[in-house]
């Protein structure tokens, strides 16, 4: 039987929705018994949330003062100590998971499959290569623990309604002193998180200035949407880097993605391929974005955006 250990991502208060997508992915392995492992200083509140996720068998809390920040060098040896007895170790394909899971795999001496997008069996998966321009089916050696990251854009969040047991565990491993957390800077706002938002309004270079991006923020606030940007807009200094959507930014899968003044470079389209509905607003009717858009509107964004905000 497959036993899947999911490394839960959280900020000390809230379980990151990416973890719910990992649960859905793991549930695709027939008969899998799913455990969520939480590392932190005090994971009680997050553990209660994790235990309420449908399909989760057990929540393991690993509380330790050194776990205040998710440093891979500190987390990995603890996860390795817990991983014995599990057939699979999954993490989300977020900056947290991508940093951490290969370190776990290497310490276990096992391979990793990155960015699972579909589960075909316990050891057979599909994943994208070449920025999503090809999809491969990979078979992993079933005699070894399989470490994987889960492409969050490819799975729905697991539902509520679970009643997993919560256990506290401790591992006796020495942690290195060579890595220290100094701080974080985020451009975070009260708006929904771009990575997990259901609605995203995104702007390109056609916005023309950081000042002009305000019309997108205004529309987004009325919609309850997150705000993204193309790489061109970020490089031009109109938008913060963490707003970047695309191959070199965030790969997202909202219910609706409204691309405003974005021409649709390949690297941007790679980041929005999994959006349920793509709306494109652009003054150039020949822009490549219209080839992938479900709904297109050709016109001047500076007239269309305020009118759209008024009509919704």
Partner 1 sequence: MQKILVCIKRVVDYNVRVRVKPDGSGVMLDGVKMSVNPFDEIALEEALRIKERGANVEVVAVSIGVADTQQQLRTALAMGADRAVLVQTDAPIEPLTAAQTFLALAKKEKPDLILLGKQAIDDDANQTGQMLAALWERPQATYASKVEIADGKLTVTREVDAGLETIEVDLPAVVTVDLRLNEPRYVKLPDIMKAKKKPLDVSSLDALGIVASTYLKTVKTEPPAQRQKGIMVKDVSELVDVLKKKGLL
- Which residues in the 56-95 window bind partner 1 by CB under 8 A? 71-73, 76, 94-95
Closest approach of Cβ 32 to partner 1, in Å? 20
CB atoms within 10 A of CB 191: 15
CB under 8 Å to 109, separation ≥6 — which residues?
A: none
**Residue 191 binding partner 1, by CB under 8 A:** no
Core vs surface per residue 102-127: b (16+ CB within 10 A) or e:
bbbbeebebbbbbbbbebeebbebbb
Q: Which is nearer to partner 1, 38 or 308 (CB)?
A: 308
Q: Which is nearer to partner 1, 130 or 163 (CB)?
A: 130
Alpha helices in 31-84 (DSSP H): 44-51, 72-83
3-class state of residue 150 by DSSP: strand
**Residue 10 binding partner 1, by CB under 8 A:** no
**Residue 218 binding partner 1, by CB under 8 A:** no
Q: Which is nearer to partner 1, 54 or 292 (CB)?
A: 292
Closest approach of Cβ 16 to partner 1, in Å? 9
Closest approach of Cβ 188 to partner 1, in Å? 6
CB atoms within 10 A of CB 64: 14
**Residue 252 binding partner 1, by CB under 8 A:** no
Q: Residue 221's Cα: distance from chain center in Å? A: 22
Chosen residue from 176, 189, 209, 283 binding partner 1 by CB under 8 A:
176
**Residue 308 binding partner 1, by CB under 8 A:** yes
- Draw the binding track, 124-163, toward partner 1 (x: CB under 8 A; -: no contact): x---xxxxxxxxxxxxxx--x-------------------
**Residue 114 binding partner 1, by CB under 8 A:** yes
CB atoms within 10 A of CB 142: 12
Report the sign of the C-alpha dihedral through residues 62, 64, 67, 68, in that order: positive
**Residue 44 binding partner 1, by CB under 8 A:** no
- Please state, in angstroms and rounded to a whole number, the distance separating the CA atoms of residues 216 and 219: 5
Q: Which is nearer to partner 1, 167 or 235 (CB)?
A: 235
Instruction: Identify whether the C-beta of residue 145 lies closer than 8 Å to the C-beta of residue 108.
Output: yes
Chosen residue from 98, 191, 212, 236 binding partner 1 by CB under 8 A:
98
Instruction: Identify whether the C-beta of residue 227 lies closer than 8 Å to the C-beta of residue 217.
Output: yes
| Window 265-294: residues binding partner 1 (CB under 8 A) | 266, 273, 277-279, 290, 292-294
């Amino acid at each position: 039987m497959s036993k899947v250990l999911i490394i839960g991502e959280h900020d000390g208060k809230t379980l990151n929705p990416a973890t719910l997508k990992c649960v859905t992915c793991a549930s695709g392995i027939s008969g899998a018994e799913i455990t969520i492992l939480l590392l932190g200083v005090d994971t009680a509140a997050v553990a209660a949330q994790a235990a309420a996720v449908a399909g989760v068998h057990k929540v393991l809390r690993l509380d330790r003062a050194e776990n205040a920040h998710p440093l891979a060098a500190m987390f990995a040896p603890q996860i390795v100590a817990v991983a014995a007895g599990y057939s699979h170790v999954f993490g989300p394909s977020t900056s947290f998971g991508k940093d951490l899971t290969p370190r776990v795999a290497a310490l276990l001496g096992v391979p990793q499959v990155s960015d699972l997008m579909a589960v075909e069996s316990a050891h057979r998966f599909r994943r994208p290569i070449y920025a999503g321009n090809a999809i491969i089916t990979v078979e992993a050696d079933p005699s070894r623990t399989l470490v994987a990251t889960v492409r969050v854009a490819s799975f729905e969040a697991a539902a509520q309604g679970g009643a997993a047991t919560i256990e506290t565990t401790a591992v006796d491993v020495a942690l290195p002193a060579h890595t220290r957390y100094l701080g974080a800077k985020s451009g975070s706002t009260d708006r929904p998180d771009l990575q997990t938002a259901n609605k995203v309004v995104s702007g390109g270079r056609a916005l023309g200035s950081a000042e002009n991006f305000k019309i997108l923020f205004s529309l987004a606030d009325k919609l309850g949407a997150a705000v993204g940007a193309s790489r061109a807009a970020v490089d031009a200094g109109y938008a913060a880097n963490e707003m970047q959507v695309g191959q070199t930014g965030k790969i997202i899968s909202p219910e609706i993605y409204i691309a405003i003044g974005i021409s649709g470079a390949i690297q941007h389209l790679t980041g929005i391929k999994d959006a349920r509905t793509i709306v494109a607003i652009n003054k150039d009717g020949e822009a490549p974005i219209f080839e992938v858009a479900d709904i297109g509107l050709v016109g001047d964004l500076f007239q269309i955006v305020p009118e759209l905000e008024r009509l919704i």
